[in-house]
Amino acid sequence: MSRVMFVDDDELLLYSWRRLFQGKYEVATAESGSQALEQLEQDGPCEVVISDFQMPCMDGAAFLEEVGSRYPDSIRIMLTGQALLETAMEAVNKGRVFRFLTKPCPRDLLDRAIRDSLHQHRLVQTEREYFALREWQKGLEGLAEALVRLVEFKDPYTAGHQRRVAQLAAAMARELGLPAEQVAQVELAASIHDLGKMYVPAEFLNKPGRLNPPEFEIIKLHARIGYEILKPIRFGFPIHDIVVQHHERLDGSGYPAGLRDGAISREARIIAVADVIEAISYHRPYRPAKGLEAALEEIHGGRGIRYDPEAAAAVERLFTKKGFFFLAGKQETGAAVAEGSVWSPRLKPMEGLP
Ligand SMILES: [Fe+2]
Ligand SMILES: [Fe+2]
């Protein structure tokens, strides 16, 4: 229930207001400004504070000014028997009141002013929450960027791979008509989908030639490690579930859980296709690039078996009809895959580092 406070040195008036509004609101009353401030300190702020102007010790304007500085979200109303212009101006300028009412004030008018004040209070709160949420979102974006950079320091191959997978996965999500928010989620998840590779020793990640089965088992752990790293962070969507599923395949042949079909999230199915396209198209430490054609053949051959058929169709359309190409990132100097070139990393130290 909303809390409304009446402050007046007329005890009878306070009694009648309490009788009128108790039950509809949680009513607090005080006979002076100092008593009201004490109560607010003890019981917490009220959404609406209605004060008389002429009171002993502290007048209404000074009291409401103090309320405004201590509890800026409380909406203030001046209710006075003195309808002098000077009083009104002081109340508005010092007390920054929302409404100025004169006594005797009909119940309906006062009730309306309280309802308007509560509405105003909700607007202020909503605006505050919106800005807090934006700050929180900016923080999360910064955190995601920090995770991307962390991978860049440890393993520039993976960092470039993640950036390209994120570009392609976002384009696929758009091509599939996903709403903008979900496109952004796909892009964010793709940009850190291999985060778990931070755990994998660099000699395995960058090993030229084929990995033996035990080494491959260690590499496979990266999906679950990424899940464990991301799980405690509240991104507002289950990014950890998307990340852990990016190597799952529709026929259950993927890892780590061998999930099938609809058990794999749509976002993970999109990223899985983008991941395979990038991995085959580009140079890897253990093999040269096979090229885009081979990548598209793999997806085409596995559509509906290993890969989501809609995601497979979307990626084919993007490359063959919509002219998609990978944009070179700041650490990538190779030309676009769509132009048929082989990317080879020529890494530069990041800014500010030796
Ligand atoms: Fe991966
Ligand atoms: Fe990947």
3-state secondary structure (DSSP) of residue 25: strand
According to DSSP, the residues that pair with 100 across neighbouring strands are 78
351 part of a folded domain: no
Ligand at shortest distance from the CA of 271: 2
- φ, ψ at 20 (rounded to 5°): -70, -40
**CATH code, 209:** 1.10.3210.10
80 beta partners: 102
Residue 19: half-sphere exposure toward Cβ, Cα within 13 Å:
6
Closest CA to 251 of 204, 305, 170: 305
Reported confidence tier of residue 351, pLDDT bands at 50, 70, 90: very low
Q: Model's pTM, two decimal places?
A: 0.65
What is the length of the chain?
354
Assess whether 57 and 174 both reside in one domain.
Answer: no
pLDDT band, residue 353 (cuts 50/70/90): very low
Question: Is the model's pLDDT at 207 over the cut of 80?
Answer: no
Q: Are residues 34 and 96 in the same domain?
A: yes
pLDDT value of residue 96: 77
Ligand nearest to the CA of 254: 1
How far apart are the CA of 162 and the centre of ligand 2, in A? 6
Residue 20 C-alpha to ligand 1 middle, in angstroms?
Answer: 66
pLDDT above 80 for 337: no
Residue 79 belongs to domain with CATH number: 3.40.50.2300
In a domain, 280, yes or no: yes
Asked if residue 122 belongs to a domain, the reply is: yes
Q: Tokens 């309490």, residue?
A: 18
Q: Are 177 and 316 contained in the same domain?
A: yes
Identified catalytic residue from 24, 94, 138, 197: 197
Give the residue from 174, 173, 160, 170 showing the smallest Cα distance to 190.
170
193 Cα to the center of ligand 2, angstroms: 6
Residue 330 bears catalytic tag: no
Q: What share of the chain is helix, strand, coil (3-state, %, to 5)?
A: 55, 10, 35
pLDDT score of 329: 56
Residues 17-34 have pLDDT tens digits of: 999 898 899 999 999 999
For residues 168 and 312, state if they share a domain. yes
Q: Please name the residues in contact with 124: beta carbons below 8 A apart, sequence gap of 6 or more.
A: 73, 75
191 and 80 inside one domain: no
| pLDDT for the residue numbered 92 | 74
206 touches 154 (CB < 8 A): no
pLDDT of residue 282: 82
- Please report how many Cα atoms fall inside a 13 Å half-sphere around the Cα of residue 93, on the Cβ side: 6
Asked if residue 215 and residue 317 are part of one domain, the reply reads yes
Are 92 and 191 within one domain?
no
| 238, 312: one domain | yes
Asked whether residue 22 is domain-assigned, the answer is yes
Domain end residue (candidates: 93, 128, 163): 128
- On whether both 32 and 106 belong to a single domain, the answer is yes
Both 93 and 199 in one domain: the answer is no
Residues 171 and 109 in one domain: no
46 or 216, which is more confident? 46
What does the pLDDT look like over 110-127, one tens digit per residue? Answer: 999 999 999 999 998 898
139 falls within a domain: no
Distance 189 CA to ligand 1 centre (A): 12
What pLDDT score does 58 carry? 87
Domain of 75 in residue numbering reads as: 3-128
Asked whether residue 115 falls in the same domain as residue 35, the answer is: yes
**Residue 4 and residue 30: Cα distance in Å, rounded?**
11
Number of domains in the chain: 2
d(CA 142, CA 95): 40
The 10s digit of each residue's pLDDT in 37-70 is 999 999 999 999 999 988 888 888 889 999 999 9
Lowest mean pLDDT across 37-46, 208-217, 227-236, 251-260: 208-217
Mean pLDDT across 179-197:
93
What pLDDT is stored for residue 30 in this prediction? 94
Does residue 158 have a pLDDT over 70? yes
58 located within any domain: yes
Predicted pLDDT of residue 208: 75
Rounded to the nearest angstrom, the distance between the alpha carbon of 257 and the centre of ligand 1 is 14
* 352 in a structural domain: no
Q: Is residue 199 situated within a structural domain?
A: yes
